Amino acid sequence: MNKSIEYYMTLNYEVKTEMIPTEEGGGWTAWIPLLGEYFCVGDGDTEEEAIEDLMKWRAECFKILIEKGIPVPEPRR
């Protein structure tokens, strides 16, 4: 059964955040660990901005995985 982007968008994926050191530009980064630390990433001046940015990119990340036929990991319920 092929699942849609909309399906994956309804799942509750864990989000991790980390402060970026000042010498590396500063700010914050956010990612979904199940999708990989460097695949679907958001960034911003604050932790909240980084999470908002990640949420904007999330659908595109699912789209790429689906189009390439890569299984999309799902969070445990």
Helix intervals (H) in the chain: 5-9, 47-67
13-22 pLDDT, tens per residue?
999 999 999 9
Domain 5-67 listed as CATH 3.30.160 = yes
- Among 11, 29, 31, 6, which Cα is nearest to 73's? 11
29-61 pLDDT, tens per residue?
999 999 998 999 999 999 999 999 999 999 999
DSSP H/E element including 41: strand 41-44
For the chain, the structural domain boundaries read 5-67
